[in-house]
């Protein structure tokens, strides 16, 4: 949103989700690393490295992969809920600021209208006298 009162505020835009927080980023790193290790175990890459890994260790890695994947889905749904709440709050704030801005613009137009009416309502029968400056305050400018 714009920070000044003399311009129309920008309407907030709906986003799918908010940015990734620390817990979600850490869980994502765990998910990717466990997934990479799991794929390497299944494909036995590099050759001979994962030959000694037991099935119980494979199960632990697979369980960690599934749990971290479930946590990622939960974090993503929470991020979407937070984005929806933030949009609703920003929209309510936008409506409030927009209403105030429109009221200020209407007041400003009324003041300008009143000022212009006062200016046009000058009595033309009375002459307007413009006082001249004293000689000491007159500045002469010579052309160069």
pLDDT tens across 17-35, in order? 778 778 888 888 888 888 8
Identify the residue whose tokens are 């907030």: 12
What is the number of domains present in the chain? 1
Residue 110 sits in which domain range?
22-121
Q: Does residue 78 surpass a pLDDT of 80?
A: yes
pLDDT of residue 136: 63
Q: Coil, strand, or helix at residue 114?
A: helix
User: Does residue 77 form part of some domain?
Assistant: yes
Token pair of 98, please?
A: 């927009």
Does residue 48 sit within a domain? yes
pLDDT, mean of residues 83-107: 90
Using CA atoms, how far apart are residues 36 and 31, in angstroms rounded to an integer? 9
> Is 101 contained in some domain?
yes
Closest CA to 14 of 74, 78, 89: 89
Q: What is the DSSP letter of 128?
A: P
Write the Ramachandran bin of 18: left for phi over 0, alpha for psi from -120 to 50, otherwise beta.
Answer: beta
User: Which of 11-15, 73-77, 79-83 shows the lowest mean pLDDT across its residues?
Assistant: 11-15
pTM of model > 0.75: no
pLDDT above 70 for 133:
no
Who contacts 39 (Cβ-Cβ below 8 Å, separation ≥6)?
Answer: 45
What 63-66 contacts at long range (C-beta under 8 Å, 24+ apart), as own/partner pairs, is 64/30, 64/34, 65/31, 65/34, 65/35, 65/38
Average pLDDT, the chain: 77
Percent of the chain with pLDDT over 70: 71
Asked whether residue 94 is domain-assigned, the answer is yes
Residue 92: the pLDDT is 92
């Amino acid at each position: 949103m714009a920070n000044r009162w003399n311009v129309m505020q920008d309407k907030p835009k709906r986003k799918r989700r908010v940015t990734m927080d620390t817990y979600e980023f850490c869980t994502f790193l765990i998910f990717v690393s466990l997934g990479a290790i799991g794929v390497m175990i299944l494909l036995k890459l590099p050759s001979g490295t994962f030959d000694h890994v037991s099935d119980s260790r494979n199960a632990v890695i697979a369980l960690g992969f599934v749990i971290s994947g479930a946590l990622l889905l939960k974090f993503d749904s929470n991020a979407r809920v937070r984005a929806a709440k933030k949009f609703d709050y920003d929209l309510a704030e936008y409506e409030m600021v927009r209403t105030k801005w429109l009221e200020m613009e209407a007041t400003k137009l009324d003041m300008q209208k009143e000022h212009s009416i006062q200016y046009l309502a000058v009595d033309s029968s009375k002459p307007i006298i413009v006082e001249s400056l004293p000689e000491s305050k007159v500045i002469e400018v010579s052309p160069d």
